[in-house]
């Protein structure tokens, strides 16, 4: 079955008259629906908290929706911590999960009372030296090494990942943290990305639950919470089966009952730090076809580019594309494919392609296109190469209205940081001069 966008052609055409393309559009109703489903799936665990991964989409208007739904925030940098502080989030509603962490980031995490998720054993004395006493509530990140297999398939290669500690290091780190004043301890691990199986979280849970029971026995340090991190994926391609978060929650519950309860750890709280799953399907990039080109291949040129959405260029990632059409014309979203096209942007890079050899309906300059599943790791990864300016973000409210939640960048934004030198200030001043 083809993917259907959460917005139809007529509404998209109307919005494009107010918000020049390209722009991101997010669906409030879908975001709230997913947040509630996640919380319901783990309601059996009284201490459960979904710490939304801010890195996936740091727009404060979207984060506020998730805060209203009871989520905490997973931050990975000082800037993300500043955003949490600005939104009134402090203390243990913040999970600070970072790596190769600067001293200033640790200091701000300490100031805000965040749960610090230590990525390496050497970060503990570094934290004490640079940020002061360790927090009373801490977490440690685990890396089991080797390959992570599921159903006889290799899911990922933790042994090549830069994140986390070995089991032996954890056995030393937990007493070290206890001696330094920590009183509540957690474990965290991230073993695979964008999984489309309901087995991933339960399998990860079993690894962490067994480790928690073993470490509690070996070190005398009781593990009070376990962070299952992210990794629950979304179906980018038509026909892919979406994860069933309720089945996932039930699978984790069974593992909890089998491992933690007999170990005397039945009061362990669970956490997640989902980003892609929370927002990915509920955002789209709306762009307009501006050119067509026919050489050795057939190309559709759009007014968005990889600077707006880099995943296809960086990873070869698939994002489905729906052709809507334009005002006064037919709705093309249900049309049969008329040809095979590369959908490209205007960067001076040959990998600036949203789609390669993609079957699409006939596309004409002026048609609106919807690039699906762009709610997470999309606008957040934008950049300014070739002087491209990042697009606006718009929220489609539950009542059908819209709100501009981030304006499009302007040349003044692009040049703003040149104010460090007289020449730079001259360039900035010239922006205010009318064109000849």
Active site residues: 348
Buried residues in 277-288 as b, exposed as e (16+ CB within 10 A):
bbbbbbbbbbbb
Helix (H) or strand (E) holding 252: helix 245-255
DSSP H stretches of helix in 113-223: 123-131, 167-179, 200-219
Q: Which residues contact 350 (CB under 8 A, 6 or more apart)?
A: none
283, 378 in Cβ contact below 8 A? yes
**Cα–Cα distance between 346 and 388 in angstroms, integer?**
9
**Cα–Cα distance between 178 and 181 in angstroms, integer?**
5
What's the Cα-to-Cα distance from 57 to each of 52, 53, 74, 393, rounded to whole Å? 9, 8, 11, 11
182, 135 in Cβ contact below 8 A? yes
CA 20, 23, 25: angle at the middle one, nearest 5?
125
Q: Which two tokens stand for residue 349?
A: 């890079």
Instruction: Please state, as a whole number, how many other Cβ atoms lie within 10 Å of the Cβ of residue 33.
Output: 12
**Cα–Cα distance between 124 and 172 in angstroms, integer?**
11
CA 406, 410, 412: angle at the middle one, nearest 5?
125
CA 24, 30, 31: angle at the middle one, nearest 5?
75
Helix (H) or strand (E) holding 428: helix 422-431
Burial of 180 (0-12, 13-18, 19+ CB in 10 A): middle
What's the Cα-to-Cα distance from 408 to each of 14, 171, 347, 383, rounded to whole Å? 18, 49, 18, 13
355, 363 in Cβ contact below 8 A? no
201, 252 in Cβ contact below 8 A? yes
**Cα–Cα distance between 178 and 392 in angstroms, integer?**
47
The CA-based dihedral angle spanning residues 330, 333, 337, 340, taken in that order and rounded to the nearest 10 degrees: 110
């Amino acid at each position: 079955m083809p993917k259907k966008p959460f917005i139809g052609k007529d509404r998209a055409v109307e919005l494009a008259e107010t918000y020049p393309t390209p722009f991101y559009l997010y669906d409030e109703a879908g975001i709230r629906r997913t947040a509630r489903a996640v919380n319901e799936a783990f309601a059996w665990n009284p201490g459960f908290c979904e710490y939304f991964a801010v890195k996936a989409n740091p727009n404060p208007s979207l984060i506020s929706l998730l805060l209203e739904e009871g989520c905490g925030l997973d931050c990975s940098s000082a800037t993300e911590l500043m955003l949490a502080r600005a939104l009134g989030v402090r203390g243990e509603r913040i999970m600070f999960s970072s790596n190769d962490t600067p001293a200033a980031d640790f200091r701000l995490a300490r100031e805000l009372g965040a749960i610090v998720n230590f990525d390496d054993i050497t970060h503990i004395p570094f934290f004490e030296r640079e940020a002061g006493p360790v927090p009373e509530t801490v977490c440690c990140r685990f890396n089991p090494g080797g390959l992570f297999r599921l159903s006889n398939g290799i899911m990922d290669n933790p042994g090549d990942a830069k994140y986390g500690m070995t089991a032996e290091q954890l056995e030393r780190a937990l007493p070290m943290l206890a001696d330094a004043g920590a009183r509540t301890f957690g474990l965290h691990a991230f073993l695979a990305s964008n999984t489309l199986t309901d087995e991933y979280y339960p399998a990860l849970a079993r690894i962490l639950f067994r480790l928690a029971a073993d470490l509690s026995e070996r070190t005398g340090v009781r593990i009070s919470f376990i962070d299952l991190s992210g990794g629950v994926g979304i179906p980018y391609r038509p026909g892919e089966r979406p994860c069933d978060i309720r089945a996932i929650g039930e699978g984790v519950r069974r593992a909890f009952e089998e491992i933690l309860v007999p170990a005397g750890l039945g009061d362990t709280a669970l956490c997640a730090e989902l980003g892609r799953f929370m927002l990915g399907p509920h955002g789209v990039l709306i762009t307009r076809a501006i050119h067509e080109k026919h050489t050795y291949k057939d190309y559709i040129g759009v007014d968005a580019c990889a600077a707006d959405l880099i995943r296809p260029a960086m990873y070869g990632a698939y994002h489905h594309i729906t052709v809507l059409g334009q005002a006064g014309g037919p709705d093309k979203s249900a049309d049969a494919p008329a040809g095979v096209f590369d959908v490209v942007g205007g960067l001076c890079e040959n990998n600036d392609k949203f789609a390669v050899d993609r079957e699409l309906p006939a596309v004409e300059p002026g048609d609106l296109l919807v690039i699906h599943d762009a709610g997470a790791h999309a606008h957040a990864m934008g950049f300014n190469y070739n002087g491209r300016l990042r697009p606006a973000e718009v929220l489609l409210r539950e009542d059908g209205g819209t709100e501009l939640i981030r304006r499009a960048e302007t040349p003044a934004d692009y040049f703003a940081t040149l104010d460090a030198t007289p020449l730079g200030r001259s360039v900035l001043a010239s922006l205010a001069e009318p064109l000849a």
